[in-house]
């Protein structure tokens, strides 16, 4: 399966349907790279002409802005906008809700206007249009507890797309005690994943508290839609000694597993 860059498409004098924005986690974190590979497989099997920026992709600037460095954010954002303007980018898909939020809601103020979709939204559309399907049996008898990421859910009010996709699996889907608008953070947002934790009035770490909630549903799998949530959920599951019993997956990975791609 060949993944082309926008530069390679330009060399062929054609344009892809959509830009796959990989993001920093999806590019460099070994765990998140598996999510990148899963989404690429889904796009491939759906027959979607897509491309990545490759070495021309820079961080969206989200962590810099959340940490208070507006100058770095704007420098990164303007560089990305100029790059995408050069390739006439109109539509973007990303598996990272942080990239999704920044590209969709914050780049327009700097002149970057795109049709940005989260990968769960695109997967739902592909399923609805029959461009991909889900083979039954892979998750029969399994319980899947779903975690809402803050940047997709509470910030962008996208709750149904990931659930609609999960509900097509032959599994028992469980909601966390705190979900949707009352969802609870994994502990990584707001650039927190890149710094040491601050002291608090409680000894329980945010991701541990969230994982304990999800484990209360006695799941076989914890499903999420964000590479940072996946990282934090994995650490939380390990802290509880449940890494051999409960697996943590992105929704795209579940689709790939269901189809044995």
- The string of pLDDT tens digits covering residues 5-58 is 999 999 998 899 999 999 999 999 999 999 999 999 999 999 999 999 999 999
> What is the DSSP track for 161-221?
HHHHHHTTSSSEEEE-SS-GGG----S-TTTGGGSPPPP-SSSS-HHHHHHHHHHTT--SE
- Residue 199, domain extent: 134-259
Which CATH number goes with the domain that contains 34? 3.40.50.1860
- pLDDT tens digits for range 59-79: 999 999 999 999 999 999 999
Domain match, 13 and 77 both: yes
Q: Give domain status of residue 212, yes or no.
A: yes
Q: Give domain status of residue 159, yes or no.
A: yes
Q: Per residue in 111-130, is it b (16+ CB within 10 Å) or e — as a string? A: ebebebbbbbbbbbebbeee
- Give φ, ψ of 126 to 5 degrees: -65, -40
Domain match, 120 and 142 both: no
Domain match, 18 and 97 both: yes
Final residue of a structural domain among 97, 125, 153: 125
Residue with tokens 């000894």: 203
Domain count, the chain: 2
Which CATH number goes with the domain that contains 194? 3.40.50
Domain match, 95 and 162 both: no
3-state class (DSSP) for residue 14 = coil
At residue 1, the pLDDT reads: 85
Q: What is the separation, in whole angstroms, between the first and last Cα of the chain?
A: 11
Domain match, 121 and 138 both: no
Whole-model pTM: value is 0.93
Q: Give domain status of residue 1, yes or no.
A: no
Q: CB atoms < 10 A from the CB of 81, how many?
A: 19
Which element (helix H / strand E) includes 61?
A: none
Residue with tokens 């420098």: 75
Domain match, 19 and 113 both: yes
Domain match, 165 and 241 both: yes
Q: Give domain status of residue 229, yes or no.
A: yes
Domain match, 84 and 157 both: no
Distance CA 195, CA 172 (A): 36
Q: What is the mean pLDDT of residues 145-162?
A: 96
Domain match, 147 and 56 both: no
Domain match, 107 and 138 both: no
């Amino acid at each position: 399966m060949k993944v082309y860059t926008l530069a390679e498409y330009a060399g062929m004098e054609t344009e892809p349907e959509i830009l796959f924005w990989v993001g920093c986690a999806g590019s460099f974190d070994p765990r998140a790279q598996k999510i990148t590979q899963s989404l690429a497989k889904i796009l491939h099997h759906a027959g979607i002409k897509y491309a990545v920026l490759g070495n021309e992709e820079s961080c969206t600037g989200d962590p810099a802005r959340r940490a208070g460095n507006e100058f770095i954010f704007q420098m990164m954002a303007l560089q990305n906008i100029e790059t995408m303007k050069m390739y006439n980018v109109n539509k973007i898909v990303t598996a990272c809700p942080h990239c999704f939020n920044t590209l969709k809601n914050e780049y327009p103020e700097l002149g970057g206007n795109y049709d940005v979709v989260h990968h769960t939204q695109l997967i739902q559309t592909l399923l609805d249009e029959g461009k991909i399907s889900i083979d039954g049996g892979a998750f029969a008898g399994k319980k899947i507890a779903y975690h809402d990421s803050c940047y997709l859910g509470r910030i962008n009010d996208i709750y149904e797309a990931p659930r609609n996709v999960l509900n097509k699996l032959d599994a028992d889907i469980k909601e966390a005690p705190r979900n949707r608008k009352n969802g609870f953070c994994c502990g990584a947002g707001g650039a927190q994943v890149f710094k040491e934790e601050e002291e608090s009035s409680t000894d329980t770490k945010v991701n541990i508290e969230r994982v304990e909630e999800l484990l209360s549903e006695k799941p076989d799998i914890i499903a999420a839609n964000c590479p940072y949530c996946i990282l934090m959920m994995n650490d939380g599951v390990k802290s509880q000694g449940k890494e051999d019993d409960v697996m943590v997956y992105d929704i795209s990975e579940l689709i790939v597993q269901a189809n044995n791609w």
